[in-house]
Amino acid sequence: MTKTQLKYEIRRLAREKNAIIMAHYYVDGAVQDIADFIGDSLALAQKAAKTDADIIVLCGVHFMGETAAILCPDKRVLVPDTAATCSLAESCPADEFKAFVEAHPGHTVVSYVNTTAATKAVTDVVVTSSNARQIVESLPADAKIIFGPDHNLGSYISDITGREMLLWNGACHVHARFSVEKILELKAQHPQAKVLVHPECKGPVVKLADKVGSTAALLKYAIADQATEFIVATESGILHEMQKAAPAKTFIPAPPEVAMDESGNARSCACNECEYMKMVTLEKIYACLRDEQPVVTVEPEVAAKAIRPIERMLEISAKLGL
Ligand code: 13P
Ligand code: SF4
């Protein structure tokens, strides 16, 4: 099939089967273009909770499919590739996190949505980068807090809220590799450019930002701000929507640090793409809609525990108008 036929068939199947195709901003632009809904992690969870579709095709990584499956036990939740996981979610194995929580009794456990269902099951409240600040601020002033798994996001939230938190030492390999030096070099070449940074980046990178925020917040800022040039320090998939929403503006992807070996050859990936997000292709979406496979399943006992902190997040967000 040509790309045009593929897109046509995907849309036809989605209509026929009353399926909604939801995509995160980090997936390939062609996938974003055929989606019914594009959003950041919070918006995807909110949309999944509300949809009346029979099938949800979650074009993102596995934990996003799990969250939708937990919120919609009566729907068929499909992911185009079950191998599309997340380095951050994997940096927090549920059994180790549970042991950490048990070793620190009396703490409120705040977990970033980038976690497996099993990790959410030992959590009190889930957050995303869109609502972490407000949710942490909504906790009693004397609450002792554990925050996991993203250490960079946790440090940032701790700094801006003034709340002390016990941090899990996890990271997203894509955001952790942005480099201060490379951004400063770009800034020297584009002195008028505003710097947009996702809070999963390291502290020194966050300090360079004109705007720190979730993918949706960075997009909103880029559209509304007077500046015409932006240096973007997050996964490069977001540039697709930024460029579509503000075609007259220039978006420059911040390059990551490149580790060199002894001979001066690049050792680590020199790109700012999440290889997991990029596993979602039109071909896989077509096959998954056609076959209604693979279905995301979450063990009922795990889902029964994991739904509470997810719903708590959605309730607080709704109350705060987020
Ligand atoms: P947001 O969708 O909250 O911006 O988080 C980005 C991310 O890393 C998703 O995996
Ligand atoms: Fe996970 Fe990072 Fe990829 Fe987001 S960008 S899905 S946090 S590995």
Q: Please count the structural domains in the chain.
A: 3
CA separation for the pair 190, 250 (Å, rounded):
11
For residue 161, CA distances in Å to 111, 141, 318 come to 16, 10, 20
**Does the pLDDT value for residue 192 go beyond 90?**
yes
Mutate which of 22, 25, 26 for ligand 1? The one with the most ligand atoms within 8 Å of its CB, which is: 26
Both 94 and 142 in a single domain? yes
Both 307 and 164 in a single domain? yes
- The CA 88 to ligand 2 mean position distance, Å, reads 6
Q: Where are the beta strands (DSSP E) in 8-106?
A: 19-24, 37-39, 55-59, 76-78
Percent of the chain with pLDDT over 90: 94
Mutate which of 90, 112, 175 for ligand 2? The one with the most ligand atoms within 8 Å of its CB, which is: 175
Q: Using a 6 Å CB cutoff, which residues line ligand 2? A: 26, 61, 86-88, 114, 172-174, 235, 274, 276-277
Q: Which residues contact 143 (CB under 8 A, 6 or more apart)?
A: 108
Banded pLDDT at 256 (limits 50, 70, 90): confident
Tokens found for residue 92? 């927090």
* pLDDT tens for each residue of 267-310: 555 579 999 999 999 999 999 999 999 999 999 999 999 999 99
Both 162 and 13 in a single domain? no
Q: Is 151 helix (H, G, I), strand (E, B) or coil?
A: helix
Both 68 and 124 in a single domain? no
Both 18 and 163 in a single domain? no
pTM: 0.94
Both 135 and 111 in a single domain? yes
Q: Is 196 helix (H, G, I), strand (E, B) or coil?
A: strand
- Nearest-atom number in ligand 2 for the CA of 175 is 2
Both 123 and 211 in a single domain? no
**Does the pLDDT value for residue 129 go beyond 80?**
yes
Both 186 and 207 in a single domain? yes
Range of the domain at 193: 175-273
Both 97 and 29 in a single domain? no
CA separation for the pair 196, 222 (Å, rounded):
8
Both 142 and 163 in a single domain? yes
| Residue whose CA lies nearest to ligand 2 atom number 7 | 172
Both 256 and 285 in a single domain? no
Taking the alpha carbons of 98, 104, 108, 110 in that order, is the dihedral positive or negative? Answer: negative
CA separation for the pair 267, 104 (Å, rounded):
38
Q: What CATH number does residue 267 fall under?
A: 3.40.50.10800
Both 250 and 284 in a single domain? no
